Amino acid sequence: MRWLWLLCLCWHSVLGATVVLVHPSVPVDSLTPSQLRNIFTLRQTQWPDGSAIRVLVLPEQAELHQRFSRRQLRLFPYQLSTLWDKHAFSGTGNRPQQVADSSAMLELLSVTPGAIGYAESGVLHPPLKEIRLEH
Amino acid sequence: MNINAAMALTILCSGAVLAESELSWQGFVAQGLIQAPDSGFVNDDGELSAELTEIGVNGRYSLSPSWHLAGQLVYLDGGNRYPTGARLDYLFLDWAFYNNSDWQANLYLGRVKNQHWLYSSTRDVPFTRPSIVLPQSVYFDGFRDVAVGSDGVALQLRRSAAIGDLTFNWSLGTVPISSAQSRLLLGHDVSGDTELQRDHKASLYWQPTFSAFHVGLIVQDAVFEYQPGDAEPLSAANFRVQRVMLNLRYQGERWELATELQQERVLTQGFFSPQFNRQQLGQGGYVLAQYRLTPDWRLFSWLDYTVLEKDDRWGRQLSAQTGGMLPAYFGYQHTLASGFSVDLTTQLRLQAELHWNRGAARLTPVIQPDVLTNNREYWQLYALQLMYRF
What are the structural domains of chain B?
23-389 (2.40.160.10)
Helix (H) / strand (E) containing B387 = strand B378-389
Q: Within an 8 Å CB–CB cutoff, is residue B317 touching chain A?
A: no
B38-42, B150-154, B185-189, B376-380, range with the lowest pLDDT: B185-189
Strands (E), B11-140: 22-35, 53-62, 67-77, 85-99, 103-113
**CATH code linked to domain A17-133:** 3.40.190.10
Termini Cα distance of chain B: 32
With CA atoms as reference, the chain B residue closest to A83 would be B128
- Answer whether A46 sits within 8 Å of B101, measured CB to CB: no
Average pLDDT value for residue range A7-20: 62
In this predicted model, what pLDDT tens digit does every residue of A39-97 receive, in sequence order? Answer: 999 999 999 999 999 999 999 999 999 999 999 999 999 999 999 999 999 999 999 99
What DSSP designation does B323 have?
Answer: T
Q: Within an 8 Å CB–CB cutoff, is residue B21 touching chain A?
A: no
Q: How high is the pLDDT of residue A128?
A: 94
In chain A, positions 25-64, which contact chain B (CB-CB < 8 Å)?
31-35, 37-38, 43-46, 48, 50-52, 54, 56, 59-61
Q: What is the phi-psi region of residue B164: left when phi exceeds 0, alpha when psi lies from -120 to 50, beta otherwise?
A: left
> Long-range pairs for B313-316 at CB < 8 Å and ≥24 separation?
B315/B359, B315/B361
In this predicted model, what pLDDT tens digit does every residue of B18-58 receive, in sequence order? Answer: 444 589 999 999 999 999 999 999 999 999 999 999 999 99
| R_g (Cα) of chain B, nearest Å | 22
| Closest chain A C-alpha to B23 CA, distance in angstroms | 10
Q: How high is the pLDDT of residue B328?
A: 97
A43 chain-B contacts, CB cut-off 8 A: 104, 158, 160, 165
- Model ipTM value: 0.88
In this predicted model, what pLDDT tens digit does every residue of B219-275 receive, in sequence order? Answer: 999 999 999 988 888 899 999 999 999 999 999 999 999 999 999 999 999 998 999
- Answer whether A97 sits within 8 Å of B210, measured CB to CB: no
Q: Within an 8 Å CB–CB cutoff, is residue A99 touching chain B?
A: yes
**Helix (H, G, I), strand (E, B), or coil: what is residue B155?**
strand
Average pLDDT value for residue range A85-110: 95
Confidence band, pLDDT 50/70/90 cuts, at residue A16: low
- Answer whether A45 sits within 8 Å of B65, measured CB to CB: yes
The β-bridge relationship of strands B255-270 and B237-251 is antiparallel
Q: In what order do the strands lie in the sheet with A115-120?
A: A30-31, A129-133, A18-22, A115-120, A54-57, A97-98
* pLDDT beyond 60 at A15: no
- Answer whether B94 sits within 8 Å of A92, measured CB to CB: yes
Q: How high is the pLDDT of residue B144?
A: 86
Q: How high is the pLDDT of residue A3?
A: 52
Comparing C-alpha atoms, which of B360, B373, B261 is closest to residue B318? B360
What DSSP designation does B361 have?
Answer: T
Are B123 and B133 in contact, with CB atoms under 8 Å apart?
Answer: no
- What CA–CA distance (Å, rounded) separates A110 from A125? 9
In chain B, positions 263-302, which contact chain A (CB-CB < 8 Å)?
292, 295
In chain B, positions 67-106, which contact chain A (CB-CB < 8 Å)?
70-72, 90, 92, 94, 96, 99-101, 104, 106
In this predicted model, what pLDDT tens digit does every residue of B351-372 receive, in sequence order? Answer: 999 999 999 999 999 888 999 9
**Helix (H, G, I), strand (E, B), or coil: what is residue B232?**
coil
In chain B, positions 186-225, which contact chain A (CB-CB < 8 Å)?
209-210
Q: What is the phi-psi region of residue B32: left when phi exceeds 0, alpha when psi lies from -120 to 50, beta otherwise?
A: beta
A7-21, B107-121, B262-276, range with the lowest pLDDT: A7-21
The β-bridge relationship of strands A97-98 and B85-99 is unpaired
- What CA–CA distance (Å, rounded) separates B34 from B54? 13
Alpha carbons within 13 A on the beta-carbon side of B215: 4
Bridge partner list, B133: none
A79 chain-B contacts, CB cut-off 8 A: 251
CA triplet B307, B309, B310: central angle to 5 degrees?
80
Q: How high is the pLDDT of residue B5?
A: 43
Instruction: Enumerate residues 6+ apart whose C-beta is below 8 A from B126.
Output: B28, B30, B54, B132, B349, B351, B385, B387
* pLDDT beyond 50 at B16: no
- Answer whether A99 sits within 8 Å of B104, measured CB to CB: no
Sign of the alpha-carbon torsion through B389, A40, A87, B133: positive
Rounded alpha-carbon distances, angstroms, from residue B263 to B10, B133, B219: 55, 21, 10
pLDDT above 70 as % of chain B: 95
Q: How many CB atoms lie within 10 A of CB B20?
A: 12
With CA atoms as reference, the chain A residue closest to B148 would be A90
Where are chain A's structural domains?
17-133
Mean pLDDT of chain B: 92
Identify which of A51, A86, A115 has the shortest CB distance to residue B121.
Answer: A86
Give the burial class of B316: count Cβ atoms within 10 A of its Cβ; 0-12 exposed, 13-18 middle, 19 or more buried. exposed
| Closest chain B C-alpha to A133 CA, distance in angstroms | 14
Are B381 and B40 in contact, with CB atoms under 8 Å apart?
Answer: no
* pLDDT beyond 80 at B120: yes
